[in-house]
């Protein structure tokens, strides 16, 4: 369960890699949100940025639903 929360949290990281390394050498610290930013504002590919955003929404929605299902199943037993 903690792993699900950690996955959700790491998918939302943008500020630290952007400010500290700007993607780092050879894109070593590029996160999904930074990639969306690059597509939208550096490459002017708003369609690609939108597609990545929707994929991120679906992925995080699935992880959140799984987390809620796991935490709520424990409440019914008590």
Q: Residue 54 is encoded by which pair of tokens?
A: 């929707």
- 4-31 per-position pLDDT tens digit: 999 889 888 999 989 999 888 998 999 9
Cα–Cα distance, 20 to 54 (Å, whole number): 27
All structural domains of the chain with their residue ranges: 2-77
Give the global pTM. Answer: 0.82
- pLDDT by residue (tens digit) across 41-58? 999 999 999 999 999 999
């Amino acid at each position: 369960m903690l792993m699900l929360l950690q996955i959700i949290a790491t998918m939302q990281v943008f500020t630290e890699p952007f400010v500290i390394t700007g993607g780092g050498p050879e894109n070593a610290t590029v996160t999904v949100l930074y990639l969306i930013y690059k597509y939208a504002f550096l490459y002017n590919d708003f369609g690609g940025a939108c597609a990545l955003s929707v994929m991120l929404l679906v992925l995080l929605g699935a992880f959140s639903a799984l987390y809620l299902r796991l935490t709520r199943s424990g409440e019914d037993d008590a």
